[in-house]
Amino acid sequence: MVALLTRQHGDIRNLFDEVERTNGDGRRDAFRRLVRLLAVHETAEEEVVHPYVRRSVEGGERIVADRLEEERESKEALSRLDGMDPEDDEFLPGLLRLRMAVMEHARAEERYEFTHLRRSAESRELIRLAKEVRAAEATAPTRPHPGVESAAGNLAVGPMAAVTDRTRDAVRRAMGRDG
């Protein structure tokens, strides 16, 4: 599970690079993929990883509270950017601020959560958690939803948000626009 999430952190970093170095439709497409990956990735962490860390790691409650606050702030910034035209003059500066926050958040997860998971969870448990992460990603919303940063919140709001987001994605694809 840790390898899966760490690899996704690398994918997120690469998508930020792609959004920054492209323009026009290429930027729009790369940004759509970034939004989707961030939304799905964070939902899976909120539903699977954070509850496990909260229960299983000494000081887990504080570790998770800090990550959830970072996730809420990033979702708000991502949501603002998602409403902008990627060619807008304010888009790239906002994207760079978001990138710094997301990368700092990823480093904190890797340092404070993933390190503890590697040390304390048996490989069988990590395999089970990886399956849960993949299942959560398969049904996660594909857009940021600030204020929904807990497993309970995701279970209450997530299914309807996921249906709405995925329908919106399908309509965009059918219309030949970015999904």
Query: What is the per-residue pLDDT for 165?
Result: 55
Residue closest to 48 by CA, chosen among 124, 155, 122, 146: 155
Query: What is the per-residue pLDDT for 139?
Result: 87
CB 79 within 8 A of CB 71: no
Residue closest to 129 by CA, chosen among 12, 57, 50: 50
pTM of this structure: 0.83
Chain position carrying tokens 């969870």: 121
Each residue's pLDDT tens digit, 26-49: 999 999 999 999 999 999 999 999
Each residue's pLDDT tens digit, 52-72: 999 999 999 999 999 999 999
Each residue's pLDDT tens digit, 121-174: 999 999 999 999 999 998 888 887 766 555 555 554 555 555 455 555 555 666
Chain position carrying tokens 């909120």: 46
